[in-house]
Structure 1
Amino acid sequence: MATAWNGAKDTPDSFWNSGHTPTLIAAFLYFDFAFMVWVLLGPLAPEIATTLGLTPAQKGLMVAVPTLAGALLRVVNGLLVDRIGPKRSGAISQIIVIAGLATAWMLGVTSFAGTLALGVVLGFAGASFAIALPLASRWYPPEHQGKAMGLAGMGNSGTVLAALFAPGLAKLFGWNAVLGLACIPLSLVFVAYMAMAKDPPNAPAPKRLGEYLSPLKQGDAWWLMGFYAVTFGGFVGLAASLPIYFTDRFGLSTIHAGYATAACVFAGSLVRPMGGALADKVGGVKTLMAVFVVAAVALAGVASVTTMPAALALFVIAMLALGVGNGSVFQLVPQRFAAEIGVMTGLVGMAGGVGGFYLASSLGLAKQWTGSFAPGFLVFAALALVALAGLVVVKAGWRARWGTAQGVRI
């Protein structure tokens, strides 16, 4: 039986022997397929909207609700992990999602209210972030934490699976059947998870609720949450909304819109670990400053383009920037809040989900009120510039107070 790190010095090549590889694999699979169903309503949205006669605002809210529910449930899952352990917390969450999807498939989703209720259930999948990462990372020593969290965190690539396969399956079997079909891989992953995952020994003592909220008394926590609301919020908001945008704006079929969305999402997922590495090398603040500039320019550009190739190119650029930003924020978080890293992971992750809810819902409202998605993209581009201004305000203080003191690049 594998044991957690015991304090012995590890070499760079000893990562796979320093923790518990089956648990790491189980955490990745859980996270990957949970993220797949978290954004499932996005690729299905054009078909659902046609069947139920939804307005643009309703479409935007439908794909945004899972993001908001996932954001709020991340805090709940953080509390649950501390009290009953990550393995059991993950098992409960997976059962809720599988049962919810199976019920929706059997009974059918026949109203806008039904899509919102399903969105809340899918929020449990989005909240897997707060379970999968501690499940994997607590098995590994400090020098391997980045690798462990990076490998488990690559599960956000599951959003690509939804964009690639959900539209085609909906065309073959109907969109409601896709809800039932999704239960098949989720059930297989659940079996593998229960067989492979093990709770790490020497788990930290459960925290009181007040301890979870204590970082919110510090301004730095709010700044980091705000920055992640833009980077991850932009990433997941676009992942959920682009199928609607591509079908409405350029008349793409749902299948081709899914392929275009998958290309954008894959770009953002791929560079997240690279963002952390770049931030380690040149500093998280410098990296984020470039991220906000590039994202703002790309999203503002999307508002004015008239061709599909130009829009796709700008979305890929925006997603690359936002993916780098996601890694950069989490390079900064442990440097400022090393003692509260678990709590801050949940709070920052929640803020990212709230940002995604805002972007997805605002695009729907913009389309309904103005007949164009452009105002929604322009407002979010402006928020990226606001984040840039905030970063300029705090960077000198951060470098003086905790960057120089720790001898690290920020």
Structure 2
Amino acid sequence: MATAYWKGANTKTGGGFWSSGHTPTLIAAFLYFDLAFMVWVLLGPLAPAISKALALTPAEKGFMVATPTLAGALLRVVNGLLVDRIGPKRSGAISQLIVIGGLLSAYLLGVDSFGGTIALGVILGFAGASFAIALPLASRWYPPDHQGKAMGVAGMGNSGTVLASLFAPGLAKLFGWNTVLGLACIPLAIVFVIYMAMAKDAPGRPAPKSLSEYLHPLKSADAWWLMGFYSVTFGGFVGLAASLPIYFTDRFGLTPITAGYCTAACVFAGSLVRPIGGALADSIGGIKMLIGVFIVAALALAAVSIAPTVGSALAFFVVAMLALGVGNGSVFQLVPQRFGAEIGVMTGLVGMAGGIGGFYLASSLGLAKQWTGSFAPGFLIFAALALVALVSVFVVKSQWRRSWGAAEGVRI
């Protein structure tokens, strides 16, 4: 069962959300997450310019934009362990310095090969791994009845992907894509200062555990189910965020800037509804929300595969991203209820699964384009995975509600 990991931080339940936790830390967590996600997907909006300069194949383009996603997925487990060992604030500071240093080095030294883009993608993975830091940083301050909203507000940092899509293509056209890497260090440095000033670890942090104790949640089937659900919801979100600039330029011949605007519209939709998804899950239960999420996402992604125009594709992508964004918030309404005592490592493990899902989607779209000449098979396979997730929800829902849902007294 989940334990009240928030005791000692704030034990007020049933009150207003903003008075139940630590608002400066919540804001700091959001800003850190937002800017980290901005640079995590930076190679996506820059992909048309990079692929033209380096003469990349469709498969290489897909792998390039997918590499930060995979690196971020694996590093989330490391960060989850680090959070529970030294605390989320210090873990976040270390991660931010690595990303800033990596981007600055890439700008000064230049990236002139496919291998160089992969190396940069690994560094950007540290930004994607911020997920396993920012969410526990905020979550530990809030009681169970406000977990969905707290995780949703902090997790709305997904919107950083909008900033990358909006500004990176235009800046690349004006100054060159390599210069964009250096320019990104400016807002990152500003947020780092704000983060150090405002963020505060919640009191009552659990005592350090052994590695085997940290990974104990993996012995529970519930952990694997939650990881599977998030591999579809967040995997779909971040995989699309990284791949849509390539899709719109290759499929419809849009300019990189116009493709960036289309991508930004889709990503904004998914980011905006994440806290809404968390709040709705607090009210009616994360399980009910996920059932609707997987149905809508599967239908929208299948429709994308046959969309004949930019307008229709854009509309279906927005619907898909809305569903996936709600799903992200819904999954993380469930995680703290079941694994409150292991929230740091579970955030990392679930986040890792989401990153792996994103890596699969982004890379498979590139392979589908190279092997078949169309992106459609990649979208159809991921739609099928959403249906598999839907069936899985029905498999576990009754047992969850009878056991840990009922014991915690929180609607799931």
Equivalent position amino acid for 2:279 in 1: A
What corresponds to 2:405 in structure 1? 403
Judge which range, 329-338 or 92-101, deviates more.
329-338
Which one of 294, 297, 300 corresponds to residue 299 of structure 2? 297
Structure 1 pair 99/232, CA: closer, same or farther in 2 (3 Å)? same
Structure 1 pair 397/25, CA: closer, same or farther in 2 (3 Å)? closer
Equivalent position amino acid for 2:15 in 1: P
Judge which range, 213-222 or 316-325, deviates more.
213-222
Deviations 1:47-67 (A, max 9, x none): 000000000000000000101
What corresponds to 1:255 in structure 2? 257
Q: Distance in 2 between matches of 1:99 and 1:406?
A: 44
Structure 1 pair 242/7, CA: closer, same or farther in 2 (3 Å)? closer
Q: Distance in 1 between matches of 2:321 and 2:281?
A: 17
SS in 1 for 2:18: helix
Deviations 1:289-317 (A, max 9, x none): 11111111111111111100000000000
Structure 1 pair 356/134, CA: closer, same or farther in 2 (3 Å)? same
Q: Any residues of structure 2 matched to 1:366-381 within 5 Å, and which? A: 366-381=368-383
Q: Any residues of structure 2 matched to 1:283-294 within 5 Å, and which? A: 283-294=285-296
What corresponds to 2:219 in structure 1? 217
Q: CA RMSD in A?
A: 1.9
Which one of 34, 57, 60 corresponds to residue 58 of structure 1? 60
What corresponds to 1:81 in structure 2? 83
* 8 Å CA contact 2:135, 2:347 repeated in 1: no
Q: Any residues of structure 2 matched to 1:320-331 within 5 Å, and which? A: 320-331=322-333
Q: Distance in 2 between matches of 1:180 and 1:214?
A: 41
Structure 1 pair 279/14, CA: closer, same or farther in 2 (3 Å)? closer
What corresponds to 1:21 in structure 2? 23
**Is 1:93 matched with 2:67?**
no
What corresponds to 2:269 in structure 1? 267
SS in 1 for 2:307: coil
Deviations 1:112-132 (A, max 9, x none): 000000000000001111112
How far 1:137 moved relative to its partner?
Answer: 2.9
* 8 Å CA contact 1:333, 1:344 repeated in 2: yes
**Is 1:177 matched with 2:179?**
yes
What corresponds to 2:191 in structure 1? 189
What corresponds to 2:108 in structure 1? 106
Structure 1 pair 285/147, CA: closer, same or farther in 2 (3 Å)? closer
What corresponds to 2:156 in structure 1? 154
Q: Distance in 2 between matches of 1:120 and 1:72?
A: 10
Q: Distance in 1 between matches of 2:188 and 2:16?
A: 33
5+ unaligned residues in a row in structure 2: which ranges? Answer: 1-6
Q: Any residues of structure 2 matched to 1:330-349 within 5 Å, and which? A: 330-349=332-351
How far 1:208 moved relative to its partner?
Answer: 1.6
Structure 1 pair 401/56, CA: closer, same or farther in 2 (3 Å)? same
**Is 1:241 matched with 2:243?**
yes
Structure 1 pair 146/317, CA: closer, same or farther in 2 (3 Å)? closer
How far 1:409 moved relative to its partner?
Answer: 3.7
SS in 1 for 2:215: helix
Structure 1 pair 213/185, CA: closer, same or farther in 2 (3 Å)? same
Q: Distance in 2 between matches of 1:138 and 1:401?
A: 23
Which one of 165, 168, 179 corresponds to residue 170 of structure 2? 168
Which one of 372, 386, 389 corresponds to residue 388 of structure 2? 386
* 8 Å CA contact 1:267, 1:319 repeated in 2: yes
How far 1:220 moved relative to its partner?
Answer: 1.7
Q: Distance in 2 between matches of 1:246 and 1:325?
A: 25
What corresponds to 2:15 in structure 1? 12
How far 1:214 moved relative to its partner?
Answer: 1.3
5+ unaligned residues in a row in structure 1: which ranges? Answer: none
Deviations 1:129-163 (A, max 9, x none): 11122223333445544443332222111111000
Judge which range, 167-176 or 343-352, deviates more.
343-352
What corresponds to 1:232 in structure 2? 234
Equivalent position amino acid for 2:362 in 1: A
* 8 Å CA contact 2:152, 2:278 repeated in 1: no
Q: Distance in 2 between matches of 1:382 and 1:277?
A: 27
Q: Distance in 2 between matches of 1:216 and 1:10?
A: 29
Equivalent position amino acid for 2:374 in 1: S
Q: Distance in 1 between matches of 2:98 and 2:32?
A: 13
How far 1:221 moved relative to its partner?
Answer: 1.3
Which one of 43, 68, 71 corresponds to residue 70 of structure 2? 68
SS in 2 for 1:200: coil
